């Protein structure tokens, strides 16, 4: 039995034994709980179009006993956590559509099948006036909660106006307040002590609780292709959730990775696939149809270029390359058939940076989706969704995994779009599911991503400075050099530089080949983002490939002299010495 603290009348007493384990009791439980607490919930919170996912931890403002009240409600929820989890899991889509994580944020499902969900990272805040709880505020993510409520015609106008005024702003790292009053009460910052953990903490812990897995500190890996059910009714219930029957569409290890990546990127949802190119294929095939036009930056990863030049046109999709270094070029490329703009930043292989916010603003005015490949930076350094992107693509093979031992891709962004790609691009267009073992390895890599990116960046900046001063080097493209012409753009949208750069030698093509042959520590290899420093000369590879692929050519904006360098985690002095001794021999 749990009673409300004195002063909050009528006292609330709930007996756990009175809760029948039937799905229809879920909504009744919450209604009874809040009614007894004399709390007026905003009706639209229970609008049937939305599913809420989060943990409840109320904060009271303006009441002398708010600490006791918080403890009381927390204890109440703790007392009923197991019942609530059982009830919600059984009656997932009951009236009110409330999906509840539980006190310990126990994940029930990895990805809602319909995309109609809200990632509720905050907590309800009850504001007292004249002894009554008059207003409910929500402490949380403005682009998550408000972004979904804005799509409802019944959403409160205060939510809509707040959402509209913040569309162009970065996601709120300081967990901004949204509610029905005109100003946020100053007491909230001190009343709420459970702010969202930092990036590194979430990269290690998000969406996983050892208590839910027999105390195992490391996540389990689910090696299974299919799932058993105790009854036909159970089978029906899983089928009604979408792909909860078969491992192509549902695997708990993979869904943990998707949830963690989405959280780190600041996305509503995520989808992982078998490779970066599988992500490109699933993305474009799901969102584009015959007769559509896709605007792309003139320079892309070589195999993405092949998809744009050879793959999509065969399906009747027109690809329009433009130079997005000048975002105004996008305006002239838009036609009534344009559906999206796709670009990388930093760009592969040059390392150029494109202005995400400027391009996204122009795309939004034209009604285009904004699709950004952020592989060269990773979410540790850059989060394009903050600057207006709709979907971010990553090759997990690179920095996010970071160890050069698997292939993988990810798509992160708006829930509705990710659900569409999951239901089409993954389910039947590509079938390119990431294996649970690969998902586990990426989860391992994520845990050290922030530390690795710091070392990649510090090593790269030292190398860029050395190359910039060497007499054999004609040019260096590393945007975090203060002298770089796009340095201001890089600093605006990236927290620091990654390990990626390109440079050219005064001796051109032949000097590049000689320089690579003289290296002792640095590894000659394609790919990037590994702990090892990797170097490649695209022009040499293209010329060699032309013997079997006559159509092979360098991407637009890539010259014969360009050398791509992926700086690893070795000692800075060793890398500098290796590059310098090789350059000195030219």
pLDDT at 186 (0 to 100): 29
Distance CA 308, CA 312 (A): 6
Rounded to an integer, the average pLDDT of 298-304 is: 96
pLDDT at 233 (0 to 100): 86
Rounded to an integer, the average pLDDT of 210-238 is: 92
Q: What is the CATH number of domain 202-447?
A: 3.40.640.10
Question: Residue 485 has what DSSP assignment?
Answer: T
pLDDT digits (tens, 9 = 90+) for 93-125: 332 333 332 222 222 222 323 333 322 333 333
Question: Which residue in 456, 462, 496, 459 sits closest to 480, CA to CA?
Answer: 496
Of these residues, 80, 163, 301, 342, which one is catalytic?
Answer: 301
- Band the pLDDT of 195: cuts 50, 70, 90: confident
The residue to which tokens 């920095």 are assigned? 399
Distance CA 117, CA 49 (A): 9
- Write out the E strands in 381-515: 391-395, 409-413, 473-477, 500-505
C-alpha count within 13 angstroms, C-beta hemisphere, residue 440: 12
373 is catalytic: yes
- Band the pLDDT of 238: cuts 50, 70, 90: confident
Rounded to an integer, the average pLDDT of 78-94 is: 39
Distance CA 437, CA 455 (A): 27
- CB atoms < 10 A from the CB of 545, how many? 14
Q: Answer whether residue 305 shows pLDDT above 70.
A: yes
- Band the pLDDT of 333: cuts 50, 70, 90: very high
Domain spanning 450-584, CATH architecture: Alpha-Beta Complex (3.90)
Phi and psi at 340, nearest 5°, equal -160, 165
Q: Answer whether residue 235 shows pLDDT above 70.
A: yes
pLDDT at 72 (0 to 100): 42
248 is catalytic: yes
- CB atoms < 10 A from the CB of 405, how many? 11
pLDDT digits (tens, 9 = 90+) for 504-521: 999 999 999 999 999 999
212 is catalytic: no
Range list for CATH 3.90.1150.10 in the chain: 450-584
Of these residues, 106, 202, 248, 513, which one is catalytic?
Answer: 248
Question: Residue 93 has what DSSP assignment?
Answer: T
Of these residues, 135, 141, 352, 373, which one is catalytic?
Answer: 373
pLDDT at 243 (0 to 100): 65
Higher pLDDT, 566 or 89: 566
Question: Residue 388 has what DSSP assignment?
Answer: T
Q: Answer whether residue 155 shows pLDDT above 80.
A: no
Q: Which of 8-12, 174-178, 526-530 has the lowest mean pLDDT?
A: 174-178
Phi and psi at 313, nearest 5°, equal -60, -30
Of these residues, 53, 93, 260, 398, which one is catalytic?
Answer: 398
Question: Residue 295 has what DSSP assignment?
Answer: E
553 is catalytic: no
CA distances from 91 to 27, 47, 478, 559 (A): 10, 17, 53, 60
pLDDT at 240 (0 to 100): 81
Q: For every residue of 448-462, which 3-state class applies, written as one string?
A: CHHHHHHHHHHHHHH
Distance CA 115, CA 92 (A): 14
Distance CA 128, CA 424 (A): 48
Range list for CATH 3.40.640.10 in the chain: 202-447
């Amino acid at each position: 039995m749990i009673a409300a603290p004195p002063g909050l009348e009528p006292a609330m007493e709930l007996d756990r034994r009175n809760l029948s384990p039937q799905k229809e009791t879920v909504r009744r439980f919450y209604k009874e709980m809040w009614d007894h607490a004399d709390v007026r919930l905003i009706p639209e919170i229970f609008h049937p179009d939305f599913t809420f996912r989060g943990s409840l931890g109320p904060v009271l403002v303006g009441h002398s006993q708010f600490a006791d009240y918080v403890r009381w409600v927390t204890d109440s929820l703790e007392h009923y956590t197991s019942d609530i989890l059982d009830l919600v899991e059984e009656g997932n889509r009951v009236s009110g559509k409330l999906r509840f994580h539980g006190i310990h944020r126990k994940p029930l499902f990895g990805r809602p099948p319909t995309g109609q969900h809200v990632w509720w990272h905050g907590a309800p805040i009850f504001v007292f006036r004249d002894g009554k709880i008059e207003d409910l505020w929500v402490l949380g993510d403005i682009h998550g909660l408000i972004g979904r409520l804005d799509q409802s015609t019944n959403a409160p106008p205060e939510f809509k106006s707040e959402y509209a005024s913040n569309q162009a702003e970065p996601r709120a790292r300081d967990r901004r307040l949204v509610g029905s009053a005109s100003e946020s009460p100053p007491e909230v910052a001190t009343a709420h002590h459970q702010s969202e953990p930092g990036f590194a903490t979430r990269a290690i812990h998000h969406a996983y609780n050892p208590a839910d897995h027999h105390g195992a500190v490391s996540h389990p890996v689910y090696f299974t292709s299919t799932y058993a059910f105790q009854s036909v009714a159970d089978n029906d219930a899983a089928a009604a959730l979408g792909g909860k029957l078969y491992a192509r569409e549902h695997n708990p290890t993979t869904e943990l990775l998707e949830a963690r990546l989405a959280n780190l990127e600041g996305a509503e949802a995520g989808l992982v696939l078998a490779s970066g190119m599988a992500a490109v294929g699933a993305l474009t095939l799901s969102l584009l149809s015959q007769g559509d036009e896709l605007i792309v930056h003139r320079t892309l990863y070589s195999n993405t270029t092949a998809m744009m030049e050879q793959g999509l046109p065969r399906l009747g999709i027109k690809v329009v390359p433009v130079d997005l270094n000048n975002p105004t070029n996008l305006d002239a490329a838009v036609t009534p058939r344009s559906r999206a703009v796709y670009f990388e930043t930093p760009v592969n292989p040059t390392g150029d940076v494109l202005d995400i916010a400027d391009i996204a603003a122009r795309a939004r005015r034209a009604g285009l989706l904004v699709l950004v490949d952020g592989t060269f930076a990773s979410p540790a350094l850059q989060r394009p969704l903050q600057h207006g992107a709709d979907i971010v693509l990553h090759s997990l093979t690179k920095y996010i995994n970071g160890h050069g031992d698997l292939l993988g891709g990810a798509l992160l962004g708006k829930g509705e779009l990710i659900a569409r790609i999951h239901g089409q691009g993954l389910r039947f267009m590509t079938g390119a599911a990431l294996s649970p073992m690969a998902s586990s390895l990426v989860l391992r890599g994520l845990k050290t991503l922030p530390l690795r990116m710091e070392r990649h960046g510090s090593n790269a900046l030292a190398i860029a400075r050395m190359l910039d001063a060497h007499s054999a080097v004609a040019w260096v493209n590393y945007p975090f050099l203060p002298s770089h012409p796009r340095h201001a753009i890089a600093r605006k949208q990236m927290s620091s530089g990654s390990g990626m750069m390109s440079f050219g030698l005064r001796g051109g093509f032949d000097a590049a080949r000689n320089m690579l042959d003289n290296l002792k520590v640095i590894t000659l290899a394609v790919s990037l983002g590994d702990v090892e420093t990797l170097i490649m000369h695209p022009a040499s590879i293209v010329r060699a490939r032309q013997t079997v692929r006559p159509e092979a050519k360098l991407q637009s904006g890539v010259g014969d002299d360009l050398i791509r360098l992926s700086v690893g985690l070795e000692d800075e002095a060793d890398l500098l010495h290796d590059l310098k001794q090789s350059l000195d021999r030219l």
